[in-house]
Amino acid sequence: MILRLIRKSELSEGDTKLKKLMGKTYLVRKNASGIQVIEYMCRHQLASLELGKLEGNVITCPRHNWKYDITTGECIFGDGTPLKFCKFEEDSEWIYLVVDSDYE
C-alpha cells in the first residue's frame, strides 16, 4: 500500500518537515543527497519524537530519554535500535510512503 505523505512543492532542498499519517509522525528531509523519510517514533515504546528535545542533530525522546541522531537514525542512548528509514516513492507532485505489510 502507498499513501500520500507530502507534496513535493512543500519541500525545498535543505528542508526538514514533520508529517503525521495514520497515527505516526514522519520526518521528511531533502538535501543534496536526495530525500529521506524516517519514522519519527521512538524505538523503545513508539512515542512520537515530535515533542522531544532536539539539540543539533540529536533528538531526545520525551518519555525515557533515548537519543537518536536524526541524520543517520543511530540510537546513541537506549538499546541501540536505530530509527526506521521508510520506503517511499515519488512522482512529479507527491512523495508517497510505502507501507510494509508489518505496519503497526
Q: Which is nearer to ligand FES, 62 or 96 (CB)?
A: 62
- Asked if residue 51 lies in contact with residue 60, where contact means CB atoms within 8 angstroms, the answer is no
Query: Among residues 66 and 88, whose Cβ is nearest to ligand FES?
Result: 66
Instruction: Write out the three cell numbers for 104.
Output: 503497526
Residue type, 31: N
Q: Exposed e or buried b for every residue in 33-61, given b needs 16+ CB within 10 A?
A: eeebbbbbbbbeeebbbeebeeeeebbbb
> Nearer Cβ to ligand FES, position 61 or 86?
61
In the complex, what is the shortest distance from the CB of residue 40 to ligand FES, in angstroms, rounded to a whole number? 11
Question: Which residues lie near ligand FES (CB under 6 A)?
Answer: 42, 44-45, 47, 61, 63-66
At closest approach, how far in Å is the CB of 43 from ligand FES? 8
